[in-house]
Amino acid sequence: MSHNKYSCDCNIVHREAVEQVIKCLPADEVLARVAEFFKILGDPTRTKIICTLLEGEMCVCDIANVLGMTKSAVSHQLGMLRRADLVAFRREGKNVFYSLSDGHVRGMIESGLEHVHQ
């Protein structure tokens, strides 16, 4: 038998610990939604858009300029972020302005940035 320093060599089930975790584990549907949420953020362009919006509300043209992308490409990515409730938008004449949907989005991105800069 090969011993891996990252695996457990015992055959004992710690029932209390297992039962406690099972009680606290979110439902499969909730976990699927969380996984989808992180999949949306898993794209570097969408994450860059979110980071751009950390500075405040911006119109599509300005976001496209910051990212060096076409308005069409940015609009496509913003649509995905909007459907995932990560960004909000408002219209002002012909302009559409985007912002982060709430403080949770800001907190998660800031936590992620802090984590990778350790």
- Domains along the sequence of the chain with CATH: 28-116 (1.10.10.10)
What SS3 state is found at 46?
A: helix
pLDDT along the chain (118 residues), means of 10: 71 89 95 92 95 96 97 96 95 95 92 90
Q: How many CB atoms lie within 10 A of CB 98?
A: 24
Amino acid 10: pLDDT = 79
For the entire predicted model, the pTM comes to: 0.80
What is the pLDDT at residue 6? 79
Helix 28-41 to helix 44-53 angle, to the nearest 10 degrees? 80
pLDDT value of position 7: 78
Centroid of chain to Cα 44: 11
The pLDDT, as a whole number, for residue 65 is 98
Closest CA to 64 of 117, 56, 72, 10: 72
